[in-house]
């Protein structure tokens, strides 16, 4: 839920920056034209009928299953069908990459299909010798669009006011090039690493006038933590309360923390589970179907058992002084866990605490972590 609210908030912010448009797709014989389109958050797609009996159904399998994001008739009685791809729609109907494939049910086998991809766009306006807003914080995968209003400018990554050839992006912004777009996705960040994912930029001819800006790409987690040993749920076994968001305290005085990076895409297969604030020794990453005790957890050893039900042992890893008492998964979590798109799974790290274990059980657990897998 926390992740969904974060997404809804960010998309609502984006819709405030971008101008909403109507994009038309025309049904012509057994074809949607254009077949594949890209729109901004807040835009409306309008399908227009020209003849025959058709429909517009979200999905890829050619059948109506009841869980489609949209499904509308397109015939002589319903000559247009519209969908508004706003923040609320995206939050209620999440799809990998915000791509919404669709088809015509009676003509699916004849290849009558299409797709709508929704860009997460934040606009920056050029006004005289300023970028407005000049400092942005966005999420991985979002696009920044700079919009020209007059004069000759550039959007050039860097801080020195000079063009060196190693910029992550550089484009003119003038009457011949009135918009500049950069998508700050995982591939872009990997090819163009910057400290703190901060991308400073400037206008080359107006750098000395202070025409500068910055885009900071905030790390986005694929899921969210739950069942912390910080007193917000079930009490830790012997009063060994951890810090906010942590598991119950171990012999360091802090609690272990489980987080994740990458994505929930099974196809991408890039999810990594990470455990920090650990003690020396082995531990086990494991997966469960359920959030134990309604997500509050039950006492177990020196900690709380948060994930349960059809438990899958994922991987044993070790924490030591050499890795700062942290560890991360190295396996394919989706493959080892046997997950399917649409399933919500819970994760936890169960580790040895062989020092002065607070409750003398000699083992503890991190907080729980939950996420919903996608295709």
Residue 19: what pLDDT? 54
User: What is the CATH number assigned to the segment(s) 224-372?
Assistant: 2.60.40
| Phi and psi angles of residue 113, each rounded to the nearest 5 degrees, phi first | -135, 170
Given a cut of 70, is residue 4 above it in pLDDT? no
Comparison of pLDDT for 121 and 279, the residue scoring more: 279
Tell me what pLDDT residue 2 has: 33
Mean pLDDT of 124-137: 95
Residue 20 binned pLDDT confidence (cut-offs 50, 70, 90): low
Q: How far apart are CA 341 and CA 95, in angstroms?
A: 10
What whole-number percentage of the chain has pLDDT above 90? 75
The whole-chain average pLDDT of the chain stands at: 91
Q: Does residue 12 carry a pLDDT above 80?
A: no
Q: Is the pLDDT of residue 151 over 90?
A: yes
Q: What homologous superfamily is domain 2-119 in, according to CATH?
A: Cupredoxins -  blue copper proteins (2.60.40.420)
Do the Cβ atoms of 108 and 187 come closer than 8 Å? no
Separation between Cα atoms, residue 68 and residue 146, nearest integer Å: 34
User: Mean pLDDT across the stretch 234-262?
Assistant: 95
pLDDT digits (tens, 9 = 90+) for 55-113: 999 999 999 999 899 999 999 999 999 999 998 898 889 887 789 999 999 999 999 99
Q: Which fold has domain 121-218?
A: Immunoglobulin-like (2.60.40)
Question: Is 355's pLDDT higher than 80?
Answer: no
Per-residue pLDDT at 18 exceeds 50: no
Start-to-end CA distance of the chain, whole Å, equals 20
Q: Which residue ranges make up each domain of the chain?
A: 2-119, 121-218, 224-372
Rounded CA-CA distance 57/63 in Å is 9
Res. 22: pLDDT tops 60:
yes
Task: Express each pLDDT in 196-216 by its tens digit.
Answer: 889 999 999 999 999 999 999
């Amino acid at each position: 839920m926390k992740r969904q609210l974060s997404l809804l908030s960010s998309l609502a912010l984006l819709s405030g920056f971008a101008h909403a448009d109507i994009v038309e797709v025309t049904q012509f014989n057994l074809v949607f034209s254009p077949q594949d389109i890209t729109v901004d958050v807040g835009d409306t797609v309008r399908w227009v009928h020209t003849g025959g009996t058709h429909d517009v159904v979200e999905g890829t399998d050619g059948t109506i299953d009841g869980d489609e994001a949209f499904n509308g008739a397109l015939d002589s009685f319903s000559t247009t069908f519209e969908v508004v791809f706003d923040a609320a729609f995206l939050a209620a109907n999440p799809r990998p990459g915000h791509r919404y494939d669709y088809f015509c049910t009676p003509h699916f086998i004849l290849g009558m299909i299409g797709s709508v991809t929704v860009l997460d766009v934040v606009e920056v306006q050029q006004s005289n010798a300023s970028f407005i807003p000049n400092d942005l914080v966005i999420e991985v995968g979002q696009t920044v669009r700079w919009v020209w209003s007059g004069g000759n400018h550039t959007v050039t990554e860097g801080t020195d006011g000079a063009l060196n050839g190693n910029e992550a992006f550089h484009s003119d912004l003038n009457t011949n090039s009135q918009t500049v777009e950069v998508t700050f996705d995982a591939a872009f960040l990997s090819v163009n690493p910057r400290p703190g994912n901060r991308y400073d930029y400037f206008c080359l001819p107006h750098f000395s006038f202070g025409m500068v800006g910055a885009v900071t790409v905030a790390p986005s987690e694929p899921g969210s933590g739950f069942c912390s040993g910080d007193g917000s749920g079930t009490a830790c076994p012997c009063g060994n309360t951890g810090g906010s968001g942590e598991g119950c305290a171990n012999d360091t005085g802090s609690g272990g923390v489980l987080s994740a990076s990458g994505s929930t895409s099974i196809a991408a297969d890039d999810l990594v589970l990470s455990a920090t604030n650990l003690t020396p020794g082995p531990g086990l990453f494991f997966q469960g179907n359920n959030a134990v005790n309604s997500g509050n957890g039950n006492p177990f050893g020196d900690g709380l058992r948060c994930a349960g039900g059809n438990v899958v042992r994922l991987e044993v890893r070790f924490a030591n002084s050499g890795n700062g008492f942290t560890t991360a998964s190295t396996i394919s979590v989706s493959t080892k866990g046997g997950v399917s798109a649409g399933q919500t799974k819970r994760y936890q790290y169960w580790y040895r605490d062989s020092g002065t274990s607070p409750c003398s059980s000699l083992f503890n657990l991190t907080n729980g972590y939950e996420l919903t897998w996608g295709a």
